[in-house]
Structure formats: C-alpha cells, structure tokens
Amino acid sequence: MKKVKLKIPATVANLVCGFDILGMAIHEPYDEMEIRLLETPEVIIKHKDQFGLPEEPSKNVAGIVLLKIQEHFNLQNGFEVIIHKHIKPGSGLGSSAASAAGAALGANIVLGNIMSKDEMIHFAMFGEELASGVRHADNIAPCIYGGITLVKSTDPIDIIPLNSPDLFVTAVHPQVEVKTSDSRQILKKNITLKNAVEQWGNIAGLVAGIQKNDFALIGRSLNDIIIEPVRSILIPGFDDVKKKSLEMGALGGGISGSGPSIFMLAEQKETAEKIAALMKSIYDEMKIESFVYVSKINPVGIEIIE
C-alpha cells in the first residue's frame, strides 16, 4: 500500500492519579491523516484545517517524525501528508500526539510494516519533543496500542497495554489557554512520602480496577492529591464541573493531560450525555466557549479508513 488514510483518536493522559504514566484513547474528537509514499525524498506536509500550524517538515510534529524515520532507515523515498486536524492544539486531548503517532503508524504502513509498535512510539516521541520539549509517550502509547496504556518507561520503551473497560467518556474543552510548560512548572518538585503512599494506593487501585473491570473501584481510585490540586487552579470552573459531574453519576474524572480539557467516566451513555450538557451549561454561564465530546473508551487506537 503506497497510500493510507487514518483516523487518529484523541487521548486522555494521566487519568487523574497516573501522572506521566497512564493514558487512554477515546473516539471523539479525532484527526484524519492521509500519507502517501513518494518516489522522491521530499517530505511534504499540508494542513487542511484552520489552526495555522507550521508546514515546514522540521517544524511540524508529523514532519519531524517522518524526517527521523527517513534518516534512520536511510530512505530514498519521501512522504506527502495531508492532515485534517479536529483535535484542537492546546486542548490537553493529545493533539500533537495524534499528529506524531499518525505519522509514525502511517509511514509504517506505506513502508510495508517495517516497525514494531514500540519503534513507532520511539519515532513519534520526536514529535512530542518538538511540541512540548519533553519526550513523553502518555498520549502516543494509547494512540498506537488503543485502550488504556501504562508507560512504565520511555528509555528503554516499556509500554504495558491494559484492559479497555466498556465505559463512556465525556470530555469538555473550555476555550482557555493552559500551556503545558506552565502547568508543569507550577508543580512542586518535592512531595511528602505520606501523600505519595496515598497516591500509589490510588494508582494500584485504578490499575486493578481496569484489569478486573471493577467500575466502582475505578471510580474511587480516580483521586489525585498531588497534581490536581495545583493544576486545577489554572482551569476556570474545574471544581464546579467535577463536583456536579460526580453528583450526576460520573464514576470519576479530572484534568485531561495538563488541561484545560476535563474528562469524566460514566457507565451509561445517558449519564455521559447529561454530564456533557452540564459541562456546556457551566461554561456558557461563565461566558467561556466550550466544546464537548461524548464517546466510549477506544479499544483500538488509530484506524485505517482507506
């Protein structure tokens, strides 16, 4: 196959208590990306969206990934990429990861499956590095593997795919700017051992709940006493959204990645949709534009649509 069209899902990193290690693919929103193998060595990036992202390959998240693949495999071929981005940059829903993971997985397909999943993740991390300065895989891993993933280590790459519980996800993206670098800088460098122990009880509970499909356990493990209290200050309406979503029947939820998006898990579609309406109304009242998405946890990750 010399050409492929992909559907690349948004992802929710951290999953509240799993800061820097957990991530989850969802169905909505998603990007579309077409990749074509060229006989000549150019890398051409075209964005068919309104976000004004740079198209010069070395400055583009998908582009840098392809350049690295080209260099590593000493390819004579190039790539033409057309990106229809729907996951808004800066949303905290893995927009840069979608470009990076899509480029790596798409290149792998048009090159005839020359890479393992972990190799694709290796190359995709160059895209994350370009976007945020940090080589992380919290969003890339669930994009490539689907479902919920544990990034046990990025050097060496050690990704553990977890179960994909049959749950609904409501995500809201309020139109406020939170820079990943800011939301990382405000974190305290030191924490108490007591808080760390409570946090790792929650992480252990969350992983056990995911593996046992114990939804109540997942819900009561979605607590973060270390990162959320600091980061949520940057997100207007956060406390209100969380409190009222839980009252409405959400299992739990919190900040998606470094924000400003917020996600909530629910067992029933009806609950997820009521939470979506609630989120919208909270931001309407605050006169903050917002986008709301309801979908299920996405067990497959990136899909080939053509």
- Scanning 50-58, 185-193, 237-245, 264-272 for contacts with a copy of itself by CB under 8 A, the matching segment is 185-193
Q: Is 128 a catalytic residue?
A: yes
**What is the dihedral angle through the alpha carbons of 103, 106, 108, 109, rounded to the nearest 10 degrees?**
-170
Q: 193: exposed, middle or buried (C-beta count within 10 Å: 0-12, 13-18, 19+)?
A: exposed
User: Judged by CB under 8 A, does residue 203 bind a copy of itself?
Assistant: yes
Tally of CB atoms within 10 A around 248: 16
Does 21 sit near a copy of itself (CB under 8 A)?
Answer: yes
Q: Site for a copy of itself (CB under 8 A): how many residues?
A: 38
By C-alpha distance, which of 295, 305, 257 is closest to 26?
Answer: 295
Measure Cα distances from 186 to 71, 84, 224 in Å.
37, 33, 16
Tell whether residue 58 is a contact of a copy of itself (CB under 8 A).
Answer: no
Q: From residue 135 to residue 174, what is the string marking binding to a copy of itself with x (rule CB under 8 A)?
A: ---------------xxxx----x-x-x------------
Does the protein bind a copy of itself through residue 287 (CB under 8 A)? no
Choice from 83, 222, 226, 251 touching a copy of itself (CB under 8 A): 226
Q: How many CB atoms within 10 Å of residue 120?
A: 26
Nearer to a copy of itself among residue 148 and residue 172 (C-beta): 148
In whole angstroms, how close is the CB of 80 to a copy of itself at the nearest point?
38
Q: Which one is catalytic: 128, 170, 228, 271? A: 128
What gap in Å lies between CA 155 and CA 223, rounded to an integer? Answer: 28
Burial bucket for residue 52 (CB in 10 Å: 0-12, 13-18, 19+)? exposed
The reply, when asked if residue 88 is annotated as ligand binding, is: yes
- Report the residue number, 192 or 268, with the smaller CB distance to a copy of itself: 192
| Minimal distance, residue 94 CB to a copy of itself, in Å | 19
Q: How far is the CB of 209 from a copy of itself (least distance, A)?
A: 8
Task: Tell me the closest approach of the beta carbon of residue 288 to a copy of itself, in angstroms.
Answer: 30
In three-state secondary structure terms, 65 is helix
Return the closest-CA partner of residue 69 out of 31, 32, 105: 105
To the question of whether residue 153 is assigned a binding role by annotation, the answer is: no
Q: How far is the CB of 90 from a copy of itself (least distance, A)?
A: 23
The binder of a copy of itself chosen from 4, 125, 131, 207 (CB under 8 A): 207
CA 150-154-158 angle, 5° bins: 50
Count CB atoms within 10 A of the CB of residue 198.
15
Give the contact letters, 29-48, x = binds to a copy of itself (CB under 8 A), - = no: --------------------
Tokens of residue 218, six digits: 């997942």
Taking CB under 8 A as the rule, which mask of x and - marks residues 62-101 in contact with a copy of itself?
----------------------------------------
Sign of CA dihedral 181, 185, 189, 191: negative
End-to-end CA distance of the chain: 10
Would you list which residues are annotated within the binding site? 88-98
Residues that bind a copy of itself (CB under 8 A): 18-22, 150-153, 158, 160, 162, 187-194, 196-197, 199-208, 211-212, 217, 220-221, 226
Residues of the binding site for ATP = 88-98
